[in-house]
Chain A
Amino acid sequence: MYVAVKGGEQAIDNAHAFLAEERRGDPAVAELSIDQIREQLSLAVNRVMAEGSLYDPDLAALAIKQARGDMIEAIFLIRAYRTTLPRLGQSRPIDTGAMAAIRRVSATYKDLPGGQVLGPTFDYTHRLIDFALMADGEAPQAPTAAPHGAMPRVSGLLDAEGLVEAEPFSNTEPPDLTRTPMELPANRALRLQALARGDEGFLLSLAYSSQRGFGRTHPFVGELRIGEVMVELDIPELGFSVEIGAITVTECETVNQFNGSKTQPPQFTRGYGLVFGQSERKAISMSLVDRALRWEELGEEDTGAPVQDAEFVLMHADNIQATGFLEHIKLPHYVDFQSELELVRQMRAGASEHQEAAP
């Protein structure tokens, strides 16, 4: 028998009111402003923009406030908002070589044109809690120096010697998983889009698993750079392009050992990571996962490692899809469960009759 159930409106309204109160916390404590979140929790804002796949620092800061700091909930809010907006166009590919870099390091060359620029990094900090931050202090001031010249790509240095695989330039129209649901096999452009918006923790774990031996690719961070790039949009009405915005991105290029195959000479191969905002853990992870997923085109062995399995990686990297399916099981399943309960009772009754009937 199916019984339609209604109700709970009052409970839901009151639950949302309770949520609003809990979100605000102790009213004696000053309320957080969106500007404060954007300026002082900027790496959280960056993560929400990257995985929300929408670059808008104010909106991401608002989502973090609304979600009480729950990052996946904030990302969910951004994804939902995005679906309400029309697509005005697509940019020309950003030129990361022309980036105004605030950080640029290479683990493969000590001396390279443009130098090792550490930028605002946690590296080399002692990871000791800084109790001084509990007190209101004066705004810190960073020292300055005269900028050095251009920062050519590290991969370009290797490429000039033919020691790294070529990265063929093209203007092929890439697939877009926000327009057409992802289908497998996915080409590299589609994989990179999925990874760029994938969950940082998931990609970190996959990349780590490959370092520990599950699909090892021997990566070196050839170059990691963080900085601002221009976003250039073709304006069809005018017939020319305009640099309509500037965004911060993190780019990681790994160079990986490669012994060569029947078709390829021994040379280094590439993994690539590109992420909105300052997010180098994610960019390095993405680069390792990208490289691992390229095993087939490079003629490498399938070791059965999770990181080599495109379906496993791409179908589980999106934390909004994952949390949607995972969390729905807490919602009412009364009827489903009732039928299973009925079934288990029948089976138990059948089993005990059978036992009683036996001599």
Chain B
Amino acid sequence: MTKSETDRARAMGLLARAPAALLEQLYPDLPAHTLLRGPEIGTVMVRGRQGGTGAPFNLGEMTATRCTVRLGCGTVGHAHVQGRERTHARRAAVLDALLQTDQAAALSESVLAPLQRTEATRRDTRAAKAAATRVEFFTLVRGED
């Protein structure tokens, strides 16, 4: 994967995993665009590995929505997002397209950065609560020498 692909994949992931309401709040009004595909609700089969590290098996599906759009300038944007929110997939696809234009820097600041912070805060909070339940063992000294 090239650097630009890595950046795009990271941005698409943030847009996909964002709570739909938060994304709408951060970027409410979409510019003119044409729908090329979808938004279409479907499923993704989630796979695991035997023993966690061995051969793959099918664990079960999750809902996902995909959408492809084209902006007036011709840039194509794409999204696969978790869940069944069509507007979420559409907004994510438009933002994916815009992030390939000269608006990328501004949108990284106004949309991606807050999404990144929100996700990190949520994760850190849960990790900190889990850490507080870590068992500290005390060694009892027995009476023998």
Contact = CB atoms under 8 A, between A and B. Distances in A.
A28 interface: no
Interface stretch (A17-25, A63-71, A100-108): A100-108
B55 A196 contact: no
Given A118-B135, A242-B9, A89 B44 contact: yes
Contacts of A156: 53
B78 A170 contact: no
Interface string A233-260: 1010111111111110101010000000
Given A102-B126, A117-B130, A94 B60 contact: no
Contacts of A276: 59-60
A153 to B, nearest CB: 6
The bracket for how many chain A residues form the interface is 35 or more
Contacts of B128: 144-147
B33 interface: no
B62 A142 contact: no
A244 B44 contact: yes
Contact of B66 (A88, A94, A111, A246): A88
A243 B16 CA distance: 8
Interface string A193-206: 10011000000000
A78 B74 CA distance: 39
Contact of A242 (B16, B53, B130): B16
A177 B125 CA distance: 38
Interface in A75-125: 82, 85-94, 96-97, 100-103, 110-111, 115-120
Interface string B1-35: 10001001100110011000000000000000000
A54 B44 CA distance: 9
Given A88-B80, A119-B130, A155 B52 contact: yes
A245 B17 contact: yes
Contact of B62 (A54, A92, A117): A54
A244 B56 contact: no
Interface string A170-211: 111111111000000000111011001100000000000000
A193 B57 contact: yes
A59 interface: yes
A231 interface: yes
B55 A170 contact: yes
Contacts of A243: 9, 13, 16-17
Contacts of A91: 44-47
A189 B44 contact: no
Interface string B88-127: 0000000000000000000000000000000000011111
A142 B129 contact: yes
B142 interface: no
A227 B66 CA distance: 26
B106 to A, nearest CB: 22
A100 B123 CA distance: 8
A69 B128 CA distance: 33
A107 B24 CA distance: 45
Contacts of A178: 45, 58, 61
Contacts of B123: 100, 228
A270 interface: yes
Contacts of A235: 12, 78, 80
A197 B84 CA distance: 22
Contacts of A238: 5, 8, 78
A169 to B, nearest CB: 6
Contacts of A240: 1, 5, 8-9
Which of B1, B17, B49 has the most C-beta atoms of chain A within 10 angstroms of its own C-beta?
B49
Q: Which 3 A-B pairs have the closest CB atoms?
A: A245-B82, A167-B51, A144-B128
Given A88-B43, A145-B132, A155-B53, 10 more contacts: A85-B63, A103-B133, A110-B137, A144-B128, A144-B131, A170-B56, A174-B58, A196-B59, A235-B12, A244-B13
Interface of A: 49-50, 53-56, 58-59, 82, 85-94, 96-97, 100-103, 110-111, 115-120, 142-148, 153, 155-156, 167-178, 188-190, 192-193, 196-197, 227-228, 231, 233, 235, 237-247, 249, 251, 253, 270, 272, 274, 276
12 contacts: A54-B60, A54-B61, A88-B64, A93-B48, A97-B52, A100-B126, A120-B133, A147-B130, A171-B56, A189-B57, A243-B17, A244-B64
